[in-house]
Structure formats: C-alpha cells, structure tokens
C-alpha cells in the first residue's frame, strides 16, 4: 500500500472497516514514525479500534477515539481530539468511519479541511457476501449515500469479500470479478484485496494488491 | 438467497422474517438488537412491507396486536428493558390468542443493566413476564444460521397454536457475524378464519379480545388455552444432545453459553473425560424428557448460565433431584471462556465441587 497523509476507511455496515483500519495502522507505522488511528464510529458501540489498544501502545500508534468507545456507554460521541487529524499535519492518520451514510455524517465534520489539504485517500470497503451489498448496483447506492453524507469522494476500493471464519481462498478469488466491475462502474482503482493472513499463501499471487490482516476473535476458542 | 452470505444474527432474523412472509415490523431501537430495525427499515419498503419506528416499545407491541388481529404475520424486537415494557401487550396477545414473533436480544440486567450479552430474562420469557396464566413458545438459537431457521419456525408455530413466539437470543448471537444460507422451504401460513378481515356481510363478526367479564367464560378460555399448550409440550420440544449418551458429566446450556460449552465438552473428551452437552432449543416447552433420561445414567449435571441460575430450576424439576445439579454462571455481560468451563468439567470429573 502507498499511503497519503490521511487514509479514510468507509463503507457498508459490517463490511470489515475496523479490521482493515487497524491493520493499515500497523502497516503504516512500519513506514512512518508519526502514525495515528482515529475512530469516528458513531454507529456501533461494539467492535471498536479500542479493542486493539494494547497493540497500538506496543507499536507506538496514537489512538484518537471517544472516551465513550468500548465503555458500554452507548453514546454516539466523537473524540475530542478529532480536529488534530486535520490541524496537525505532521501525523499520518488512518480514519475508521462508522458504517453507511449514518456513520459518514461524522466524517462530514472534518471533510472540508481534508479535501482542502488534498493529501488523502478514501477507500470504500466492499464485501460481496454481505446481504445488502450483493450487487454492484447496491454498492453504487451505498457509495453515493456515503459521499453525500460525508461530503467527500472515494478515491479507491478495498475488496474485503469474506465469509468470516469459513472463508476459503476460492471465495476471495471469486469476489474479484465483482470488485472489478464495481471499480469500473465507479471509475475507482482497487487499492487492496484484504483477507485473513492465514490465507496469504494461497492468495498472495492471485488477487490484485493483496493485503493480509490479523483478525480479532470474538470469543477465543469457539 | 440460496448462496452463503455473511450476516449478523440480528440481520439474519430480519431477513428470515421477510422470507417467512412477515411484512409488518414495529419496533423501537435499543442496543444490542438495533440491526433488526435498521435492516427492516432498508428492506421492508422494497418488498411492499411496513417498517415503523414506534414512539415506544409499548406502542410497538400494541401495533403488533393490531396487525396480528387481521391475520397477517407481524413481529417486533427489543432487548431486555424494552421487552419488560412490552409485557402488558404480550399478555394481551396471549389472552386474545394472537400469533406474533417477539425477539429479545438479551442484555445484562436488572434495570437498565448494560449492553453486553446475558441470559437473565429466562424466567421472564418462560414463566410468563406479563400477568395471567399463559405461555410463550420460547426459542433459543445458538448460531446465526439457527437465528434464521428458528425465526421461520417461530412464525409457523405461532400461527399453528395461535400464540406468541419469542426468539430469546442475546447480545452476542445478535452481533456476531457468520455465514448463513436461506435455502429452506417456507410453508404457506395457515388459513386464519378467526382474523378480523371484514365480514362482507357474509358472516358473523370475528372478535379479537382478551376481556371476559364472566368468570365461567374466562375459566373456560383458560382451560381451552392450556389444552393447546399441552399439545405444544407434546409435539414441539426441540433440543440438541452432544455426546450425552454415555456422559458422566452433562453440561446444560443454551444460546451463546451452549456454543462456548460445546467447545469445552469437545476439549474435555480429548482429555478422556466423559462429558456431554444438552442444549435446549425450546426453552418453553422445556425438554424435560431429555434431562430425565440423562439423570438415569449421568453422575452430575452442570447448568452453565449467563444469569444467577434460572434454567437450573427447570432442570431440577425435570430430573426430580435424581442427580446433583450445580450451577456455573457469569452475569452482567461477562462471557465465560472455553477453558473456564473446561476447568469446571475437569473439577467435576475429579469429584470436586466447582
């Protein structure tokens, strides 16, 4: 992956945004010293970047997130340090946005400054196995809704098509055609094809811009 | 949708309801089940159905009463505190013999509690949370696939016996994502000659009502209803056994607790411990016979529950105290892990208390 100063991860609810954002932050940190991850999720109180807090600390990644994240206080709050994303241009930031247009509303608060600075990528995470984005037409709708709400345009696609723990390499390979069609229709590039790192050997040479990820287990051992 | 898709449990319930022919959803948002409402808001308009966010849980359950009276399949969903609010309406549904599907994605209680998973509404669901003599059929899924299947089953049972069915799941089964397929056969809903659909001046009025001011009439209604409940108990019990036949130690668990316990039992077997699992799928009717049978040969039953010990009472009644029944529990939204339950099994195998 090549990174601009700001990388925005957005897309449909449950498409895998947080896992991608967390792994991108790990990746970015290996190239740029001053790396931060910003959690702007105002939709879901669960499965937040804060779940990886220990890893961020270990790796020296700054976490910008609401003090309510993972506190079980179900409040759609934004982090008070949110404006440092755009104000402090010395840092490199991965932004994890909440799902759908509702989630992208939060992004709208700072998208003006992001567009003005013009040093960003915004990736739409797609998963052809999610029931409400089965077709490219569905994706186009979601894309437009997010861009309207966030007042910013996507610059690329991350194909994160998967079936959870049951994902087989063929499932990812089979999804590439869908991702290609989506990319053509949206006139965007496929910035990455992301998958569980356990599938890396089988997929590394078979998908465009492979991006292997460490995934979190919901309930260890089950 | 015959191919596998990746869904949250909450979404699977919503999609399955649409497949079952439910075109009316009324609800009010509450974590951890809001995805059901969000999904319905997106899907219902596309299939010619109604999604309505009511002004409260109480309004929603009474809208369910209204639609059910017309013979249409209808549902609502909430989480523990919201389900408490619905109890009056649920009692009215039961009293008027109306089918409906009610989903409770349980969170920690009592009171506002928390937003993490729990099973502490077992009593409320199985013993009647509202007033009066009545039962709900209570179904407890343990996977996303089962969330879908039991939703369809729930509508069928509700229609068949003219009573509300509750899907009693929890924050985890609602939130977790798993592959699911929807390629199962869906039965046509039965005719509902009792429904309020307009007489066209061709028949007597159908009256949907739970008010019976004459004591003998009300008694008759209650006796009649319990005859129907007897049929449910005879015909609709569902449970799953895993290596329970020759087990010395049987774990009794349901929903997400059984999902974790299943892995613990597998690991105990690897260590040569004769452990087994009984997983009630219908919590009412409770699989009494399965536990009675187990009590004939096992040494001990351990109820693993995410509450202060509720299902254990049904187990003790079903086993008539023939074997010791103990409790291993976590509450407040804490989930036990696989090795924690394995430890409990190992301890029991050594003959120790937990």
B143-146, long-range: CB within 8 Å, 24+ apart, which pairs? B143/B173, B143/B178, B143/B259, B144/B7, B144/B8, B144/B9, B144/B12, B144/B173, B144/B176, B144/B177, B144/B178, B144/B179, B144/B180, B145/B12, B145/B178, B145/B179, B145/B180, B145/B181, B146/B281
Local structure of A183: helix, strand or coil: helix
Q: How far apart are CA A85 and CA A106, in angstroms?
A: 13
Q: Which of B7, B14, B255, B13 is nearest to B118 (CA)?
A: B255
Q: How far apart are CA B16 and CA B66, in angstroms?
A: 22
In this structure, the answer to whether residues B169 and B69 fall within a common structural domain is yes
CATH code: domain of residue B32: 3.40.50.970
Cβ–Cβ < 8 Å for B132, B76: no
Which of B186, B212, B235 represents a domain boundary (last residue)? B235
**Total domain count for chain B?**
2
Cβ–Cβ < 8 Å for A125, A12: yes
Q: Is the peptide bond before A103 cis (omega within 30 degrees of 0)?
A: no
Could you tell me the residue range of the domain that residue B152 belongs to? 5-198+223-235
**Is B213 inside a domain boundary?**
no
**Is B354 inside a domain boundary?**
no
**Is B216 inside a domain boundary?**
no
Q: How far apart are CA B4 and CA B178, in angstroms?
A: 9
In this structure, the answer to whether residues B247 and B231 fall within a common structural domain is no
**What is the DSSP code (8-state) at residue B336?**
P
Which of B214, B235, B256 represents a domain boundary (last residue)? B235
CA distance B39 to chain A (A): 9
Considering CB atoms only, which of A14, A47, A221 is closest to B339?
A221
Considering CB atoms only, which of B7, B177, B259 is closest to A222?
B259
In this structure, the answer to whether residues B184 and B301 fall within a common structural domain is no
**Is the four-CA dihedral A187, A193, A194, A196 of positive or negative sign?**
positive
In this structure, the answer to whether residues B254 and B231 fall within a common structural domain is no
Cβ–Cβ < 8 Å for B147, B168: no
In this structure, the answer to whether residues B154 and B285 fall within a common structural domain is no
| Virtual torsion, Cα A55, A59, A64, A66, nearest 10 deg | 20
pLDDT one digit per residue (tens) for chain B, 354 residues: 568 999 999 999 999 999 999 999 999 999 999 999 999 999 999 999 999 999 999 999 999 999 999 999 999 999 999 999 999 999 999 999 999 999 999 999 999 999 999 999 999 999 989 999 999 999 999 999 999 999 999 999 999 999 999 999 999 999 999 999 998 888 889 999 999 999 999 999 999 999 999 999 999 999 999 999 999 999 999 999 999 999 999 999 999 999 999 999 999 999 999 999 999 999 999 999 999 999 999 999 999 999 999 999 999 999 999 999 999 999 999 999 999 999 999 999 998 654
Cβ–Cβ < 8 Å for B108, B116: yes
**Is B96 inside a domain boundary?**
yes
In this structure, the answer to whether residues B231 and B279 fall within a common structural domain is no
**Is B211 inside a domain boundary?**
no
**Is B57 inside a domain boundary?**
yes
CA distance B272 to chain A (A): 19
Contacting residues for B106 by C-beta, under 8 A, at least 6 apart = B79, B80, B117, B118, B119, B120, B121, B168, B169, B170, B171
Q: Which of B110, B79, B105 is nearest to B332 (CA)?
A: B110
Q: How far apart are CA A115 and CA B12, in angstroms?
A: 38
Neighbours of B235 (CB within 10 A): 11
CATH code: domain of residue B286: 3.40.50.920
Considering CB atoms only, which of A72, A218, A221 is closest to B116?
A72
CA distance A155 to chain B (A): 26
pLDDT one digit per residue (tens) for chain A, 222 residues: 899 999 999 999 999 999 999 999 999 999 999 999 999 998 888 888 888 889 999 999 999 998 887 777 878 889 999 999 999 999 999 999 999 999 999 999 999 999 999 999 999 999 999 999 999 999 999 999 999 999 999 999 999 999 999 999 999 999 999 999 999 999 999 999 999 999 999 999 999 999 999 997 766 666
In this structure, the answer to whether residues B146 and B276 fall within a common structural domain is no
Q: Which of B109, B62, B64 is nearest to B308 (CA)?
A: B109
Which of B177, B207, B235 represents a domain boundary (last residue)? B235
Domains of chain A: 6-213 (3.40.50.300)
Q: How far apart are CA A205 and CA A214, in angstroms?
A: 19
In this structure, the answer to whether residues B117 and B192 fall within a common structural domain is yes
**Is B81 inside a domain boundary?**
yes
> Taking CB atoms and an 8 Å cutoff, what residues of chain B touch A47?
175
In this structure, the answer to whether residues B268 and B333 fall within a common structural domain is yes
pTM summary value: 0.94
Q: Which of A126, A133, A177, A150 is nearest to A16 (CA)?
A: A126
| Virtual torsion, Cα A197, A202, A206, A211, nearest 10 deg | 10
**Is B212 inside a domain boundary?**
no
In this structure, the answer to whether residues B29 and B110 fall within a common structural domain is yes
In this structure, the answer to whether residues B288 and B343 fall within a common structural domain is yes
Cβ–Cβ < 8 Å for B117, B333: yes
3-state SS track over A97-147: ECCHHHHHHHHHHHHHHHHHHCCEEEEEEECCCCHHHCCHHHHHHHHHHHH
Q: How far apart are CA B105 and CA B333, in angstroms?
A: 12
CA distance B37 to chain A (A): 14
In this structure, the answer to whether residues B277 and B231 fall within a common structural domain is no
Q: How far apart are CA B179 and CA A205, in angstroms?
A: 26
A166: nearest CA in chain B? B179
Q: Do A13 and B38 touch (CB under 8 A)?
A: yes
> Taking CB atoms and an 8 Å cutoff, what residues of chain A touch B38?
13
A130: nearest CA in chain B? B6
């Amino acid at each position: 992956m090549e990174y601009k100063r700001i990388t925005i991860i957005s897309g449909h609810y449950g498409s895998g945004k947080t896992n991608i954002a967390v792994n991108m932050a790990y990746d970015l940190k290996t190239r740029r010293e001053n790396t931060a991850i910003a959690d702007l999720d105002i939709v879901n109180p669960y499965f937040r970047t804060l779940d990886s807090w220990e890893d961020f600390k270990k790796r020296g990644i700054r976490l910008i997130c609401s003090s309510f994240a993972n506190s079980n206080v179900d409040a759609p709050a934004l982090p008070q340090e949110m404006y440092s994303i755009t104000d402090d241009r010395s840092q490199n930031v991965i932004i994890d946005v909440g799902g759908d247009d509702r989630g992208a509303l939060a992004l709208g608060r700072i998208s003006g400054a992001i567009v003005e600075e013009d040093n960003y990528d915004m990736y739409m995470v797609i998963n052809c196995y999610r029931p409400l984005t089965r077709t490219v037409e569905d994706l186009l709708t979601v894309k437009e809704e997010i861009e309207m709400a966030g007042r910013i345009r996507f610059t690329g696609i991350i194909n994160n098509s998967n079936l959870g723990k049951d994902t087989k390499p063929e499932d990812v390979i089979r999804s590439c055609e869908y991702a290609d069609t989506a990319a053509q229709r949206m006139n965007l590039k496929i910035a990455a094809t992301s998958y569980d790192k356990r599938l890396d050997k089988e997929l590394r040479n078979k998908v465009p811009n492979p991006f292997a990820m460490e995934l979190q287990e919901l309930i260890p051992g089950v | 949708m015959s191919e596998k898709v990746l869904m949250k449990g909450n979404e699977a319930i919503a999609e399955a309801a649409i497949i079952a022919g439910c075109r009316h959803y009324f609800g009010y948002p509450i974590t951890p089940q809001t995805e059901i409402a969000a999904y319905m808001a997106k899907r219902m308009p596309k299939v010619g159905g109604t999604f309505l966010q009511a002004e409260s849980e109480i309004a929603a359950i009474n809208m369910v009463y209204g639609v059910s009276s017309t013979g249409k399949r209808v549902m609502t969903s909430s989480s523990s505190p919201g389900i408490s609010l619905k109890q009056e309406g649920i009692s009215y549904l039961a009293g008027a013999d109306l089918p409906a599907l009610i989903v409770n994605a349980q969170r920690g209680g009592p009171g506002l509690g928390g937003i993490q998973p729990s099973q502490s509404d077992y009593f409320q669901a199985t013993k009647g949370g509202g007033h009066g003599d009545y039962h709900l059929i209570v179904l407890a899924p343990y996977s996303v696939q089962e969330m879908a299947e039991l939703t369809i089953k729930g509508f069928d049972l509700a229609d068949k016996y003219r009573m509300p069915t509750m899907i009693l799941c929890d924050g985890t089964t609602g939130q977790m994502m798993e592959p699911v397929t929807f390629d199962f056969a869906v039965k046509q809903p039965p005719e509902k000659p009792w429904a309020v659909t307009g007489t066209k001046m061709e028949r007597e009025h159908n009256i949907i009502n739970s008010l019976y001011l004459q004591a003998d009439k009300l008694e008759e209604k209650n006796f009649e209803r319990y005859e129907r409940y007897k049929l449910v108990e005879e015909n609709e019990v569902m449970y799953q056994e895993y290596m329970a036949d020759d087990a010395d130690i049987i774990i009794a668990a349901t929903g997400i607790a059984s999902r974790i316990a299943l892995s613990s039992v597998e690991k105990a077997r690897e260590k040569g411990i004769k452990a087994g699992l009984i997983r009630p799928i219908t919590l009412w009717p409770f699989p009494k016979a399965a536990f009675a049978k187990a009590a004939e040969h096992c040494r001990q039953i351990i109820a693993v529950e995410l509450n202060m010990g509720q299902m254990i009472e049904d187990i003790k009644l079903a086993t008539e105290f023939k074997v010791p029944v103990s409790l291993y529990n976590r509450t407040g939204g804490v989930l036990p892990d696989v090795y924690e339950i394995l430890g409990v099994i190992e301890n029991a195998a050594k003959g120790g208390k937990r």
